A and B are shown apart, each in its own frame.
Chain A
Amino acid sequence: MNEILLSNEVIVYLLSEAVLYMLLFIAFLVTLGLVRKWNFDAFTSEQFMWENRSYLVVTIISFAMLLKLLLLPYFVYTVDNLSDLIPGAMCGAGVIKANEYGNPLLALKIIVLFLSGLWLSMNSLDLKAKNYPYLKAKSWFFIVVFVFLSVEFTLDILYFTHIETSNPVTCCSVIFGVSGGANDLPFGLNIPRLLILFYLLFALLVLTVNASMPLVSIGASLLFAIVAYYAVVYFFGTYIYELPTHQCPFCMLQNHYNYVGYFVWGSLLLGIFFVLDSAVMQLFFKRSSKKLKRVSLLFLTLFVVLCSFYVGLYYLENGVLL
Chain B
Amino acid sequence: MKKILINIAVFVMVIAVIIILLLSFGTDEGAKYVYKNNTAYKIVELKPKEYQCSECNMDVADLEYAVQLITKNGNTYFFDDIGCVVLWLKNNSPKIVKLMTKTLDTHRWIDAKKAWYSRTDNTPMGYGFAAYEHKEEGMIPYEEMKLLMLQGKNLHDPFVKKQLLSK
Q: Which residues of A contact B (CB under 8 A)?
A: 179-183, 185, 187-190, 193, 196-197, 200-201, 203-204, 207-208, 210-211, 213, 216, 220, 223
Beta-carbon contact of B20 and A204 below 8 Å = no
Report the 9 A-B pairs with minimum CB-CB distance, sorted nearest first: A180-B57, A188-B30, A188-B24, A204-B13, A189-B24, A182-B52, A183-B29, A188-B29, A181-B59
Question: Do A203 and B32 have beta carbons less than 8 Å apart?
Answer: no
Cβ–Cβ < 8 Å partners of A197 in chain B: 17, 20-21
- Selected from B10, B23, B32, the residue in CB contact (under 8 A) with A213 is B10
Contacts of B32 in A (CB 8 A): 181-183
Question: Are the C-beta atoms of A211 and B3 separated by less than 8 Å?
Answer: yes
> Within the complex, which residue of A189, A193, A211, A223 is in contact with B10, where a contact is CB–CB below 8 Å?
A211
Q: A188-B24, A200-B17, A204-B17 are in contact. Are A183 and B10 (CB under 8 A)?
A: no
Residue of B nearest to A203 (CB): B13
With A and B bound together, what is the CA distance between A193 and B53 in angstroms?
26
CB pair B25 A188 closer than 8 Å: yes
Interface bin, chain B: 20 to 34
Closest chain B residue to A186, Cβ basis: B30
**B residues whose Cβ falls under 8 Å from a Cβ of A:** 3, 6-7, 9-10, 13-14, 16-17, 20-21, 23-33, 49, 52-53, 56-59
B7's nearest neighbour on chain A, judged by CB, is: A211
Residues of chain A contacted by B53 (CB below 8 angstroms): 180
Q: Note all chain A residues with C-beta closer than 8 A to B14.
A: 204, 216, 220
Q: Which residue of A lies closest to B6 (CB)?
A: A211
Q: List 11 A-B contacts (CB under 8 A).
A: A179-B58, A180-B56, A180-B59, A185-B30, A188-B26, A193-B23, A197-B20, A200-B17, A203-B13, A207-B13, A216-B10
A196 in contact with B30 (CB, 8 Å):
no
**Residue contact B30 to A207, C-beta cutoff 8 Å:** no
Given contacts A181-B59, A188-B25, contact A207 B20 (CB under 8 A): no
Q: How far is the CA of A203 from the CA of B58 in the complex (A)?
A: 37
B29:A189 contact, CB within 8 angstroms: yes
Distance from A21 Cβ to chain B, minimum over Cβ atoms (Å) = 37
A182→B20 CA distance, assembly (Å) = 20
Q: A197–B52 Cα gap in the complex (Å)?
A: 27
CB atoms of A193 and B59 under 8 A apart? no
Quote the shortest CB–CB distance from A197 to chain B (angstroms).
6
> With A and B bound together, what is the CA distance between A208 and B57 in angstroms?
41
Which listed residue, A180, A183, A193, touches B20 by the CB 8 Å rule?
A: A193
| Known interface pairs A180-B58, A185-B30, A216-B14; 12 further A-B residue pairs with C-beta atoms within 8 A, sorted by A's residue number | A180-B59, A181-B52, A181-B59, A183-B29, A183-B30, A183-B32, A187-B21, A187-B24, A188-B24, A193-B23, A197-B21, A211-B3
B28, closest chain A residue (CB): A188
Residue of A nearest to B13 (CB): A204
Across-interface contacts of A200 in B (CB, < 8 A): 13, 16-17, 20
Q: How far is the CA of A106 from the CA of B128 in the complex (A)?
A: 40
Chain B proximity of A195: nearest CB distance (Å): 11
Instruction: Determine which of B17, B21, B24, B49 lies in contact with A181 in the assembled complex, contact meaning CB atoms within 8 Å.
Output: B49
- Give B118 Cβ to nearest chain A Cβ, in Å: 26
Contact status of A190 and B10, CB under 8 A, knowing A179-B57, A196-B20, A201-B17? no
Given A179-B58, A181-B52, A183-B32, answer yes or no on A204-B10 (Cβ-Cβ < 8 Å): yes
Which residues in B have their C-beta under 8 angstroms from that of A188? 24-31
Q: Known contacts A179-B57, A180-B59, A196-B20: does B25 contact A208 (CB below 8 Å)?
A: no
Q: Which residues of B contact A220 (CB under 8 A)?
A: 14, 17
* Minimum Cβ distance to chain A for residue B6 (Å): 5
In the complex, what residue of chain A is closest to B61 when comparing beta carbons?
A181
B24-A193 in contact (CB<8A): yes
